Amino acid sequence: MALAGPSGPAMSREDVDRALARLGDEREAIESSLLALQDHSGRRLLEGAALTGATKERWAAAEQALSLLWAHFDAYTDALTSARALRSRRRWPTQSELRDLTELLRGSGITVSGGAVPEAARGLTGPARLSERLSLEQLLARMNDRYAQVLDVVSAVDAVWSALPARIDLLAAEAQRVRSLAESVGVRPGTHPSGDDLQELLTSLAALRGQVVSDPLLFWTAGRPDTGRYDRAGRALEDIRREVEAVLHVRDDADHRMMRLRDVLSRADRTLTEARSARVEVLSKIAASEVPAVSGAPVALHDQLTAAVEFRRTGQWHRLSPLLDGLEQRADDELLRARESLTAVTAPLAVRAELRGRLDAYRAKVARHGLAEDPLLMERYDHARRLLWSAPCDLRAAESAVLRYQRAVSDMLVPGQAGPADHKGDGR
């Protein structure tokens, strides 16, 4: 360190003491800051880290600046120590000593030296120089600037490393859990879109973590860690999880749904079988009646049920779910159609049964009134009964006979007051 020429009027003893006190306080503050920076977790992690990109460049510049910072601190400390030693010689310094103190405290007599600054560091540390001559105030300002610049890099890197890698690891672990669940229900790459999405997500999370670790400043935006890619990955995983859970629900519910589906189709088959048997019976027992044809068993539905069983066996839940959705509706429709077919086929038998019941009801009514032996009533009852219990039964003739019997009963019980139904279809 060299001390150079005059720096204006000599300072007074009071001015010297105040300057020494202030500069001493500044030195203590800088030393505390440098020691804190030395112990900063971000700086320790940066040392020896395999960095890339912008972080590699800026940390190289910051390391150069930090080295110069310590060198400048040593020069500052030496100059301040020299000034204190000169001031401590006597209580009342001489004029010559005051001029020397003024030169030490205000003059540009501190030479700081160092090697050529690397190209990457020049924007951070100023032009490349081998040495500079600075005052204590200038040196103090230079140290404060370099400290802030180094701290910016270290703090930004530490903030990104604190915010992202652990969260990415947790998200990747959750993605692995979802993958295990997905594979258990057949959601795998190449077989299900969500399996492809999950594989892509795991690959992108690994790449994201590698970038965060090697180039953390790439993720430093607007004074805070940029979590955009991490957040998007989290949302994507949630979408995949919902899809896998939907497939899992299909798996858990598949046995119950397929059991119900088999039951519905079985009932439809039995109903159609019953309808076909009933049609044969109707054609043999009822004459002159329109009997609708009965369709065959739903072969297509049974084929689709066989496909569903195969999907269930091979764990193709994503294919089973839409197939079951459609099959359940079609099976319900088939059962309804079979029941309607049975109803339509057996309608003539139902009409015959209703006529038989009506004839017996009027016969009982006649007996209660003591008219069971009336020749006209007996003749008309026997005629209607023969028609209803003969095979094949002529429903039109039987209905007409029952109505004639009803009218005769009504005329007998209330002479001259036949009901409206008794005049309908008399046939006489």
Residue-by-residue DSSP string for 253-308: HHHHHHHHHHHHHHHHHHHHHHHHHHHHHHHHHEES----------HHHHHHHHHH
Q: Which of 374, 401, 407 is nearest to 385 (CA)?
A: 401
Tokens 């320790």, residue located: 44
* CA distances to 375, 386, 397, 403, 411 from 428, in Å: 18, 19, 13, 12, 15
The pLDDT value recorded for residue 78 is 87
Average pLDDT on 251-278 reads 87
What is the identity of the amino acid at 119? E
Min mean pLDDT across 90-99, 204-213, 398-407 is at 90-99
Give the model confidence (pLDDT) of 25-53 as tens digits. Answer: 888 888 888 888 888 888 888 988 899 99
Q: Which of 9, 52, 27, 249 is nearest to 136 (CA)?
A: 27
The pLDDT value recorded for residue 54 is 93
pLDDT at residue 286 tops 90: no
Give the model confidence (pLDDT) of 47-99 as tens digits. Answer: 888 999 999 999 999 999 898 889 898 888 988 888 888 888 888 888 888 88
Tokens 């879109």, residue located: 193
Strands 286-287 and 393-394, by their bridges, are parallel
pTM higher than 0.85 for the full model? Answer: no
pLDDT at residue 100 tops 60: yes
Average pLDDT on 257-270 reads 89
Do the beta carbons of residue 146 and residue 37 sit within 8 Å?
A: no
Compute the mean pLDDT over every residue in the chain, rounded to the nearest whole number. 84
The pLDDT value recorded for residue 169 is 96
How far is the C-alpha of 386 from the C-alpha of 397, rounded, in Å? 11
Do the beta carbons of residue 407 and residue 384 sit within 8 Å?
A: no
What tokens appear for 78 in the block? 């030496």
The pLDDT value recorded for residue 417 is 43
Average pLDDT on 368-373 reads 86
The pLDDT value recorded for residue 255 is 83
Interaxial angle between packed helices 317-368 and 299-314, expressed in degrees from 0 to 180 and rounded to the nearest 10:
140
Sign, CA dihedral 64-65-71-75, equals positive
Average pLDDT on 172-186 reads 91
The pLDDT value recorded for residue 203 is 96
pLDDT at residue 226 tops 90: yes
Min mean pLDDT across 104-108, 284-288, 319-323, 343-347 is at 284-288
Angle at 229 between CA 223 and CA 235, to 5 degrees: 125
Fill in the DSSP letter of residue 130. Answer: S
pLDDT at residue 4 tops 70: no
Average pLDDT on 413-422 reads 52
- Per-residue confidence band for 204, with pLDDT thresholds at 50, 70 and 90: very high
The pLDDT value recorded for residue 7 is 57
Q: Which of 272, 394, 264 is nearest to 344 (CA)?
A: 272
The pLDDT value recorded for residue 291 is 75
Long-range contacts, 359-363 (Cβ 8 Å, 24+): 359/384, 359/385, 359/388, 359/402, 359/405, 362/405, 362/406, 362/409
β-strand partners of 111: 133
How far is the C-alpha of 57 from the C-alpha of 60, rounded, in Å? 5
Average pLDDT on 371-377 reads 86
Average pLDDT on 190-211 reads 93
Do the beta carbons of residue 111 and residue 33 sit within 8 Å?
A: no
Tokens 């009801």, residue located: 361
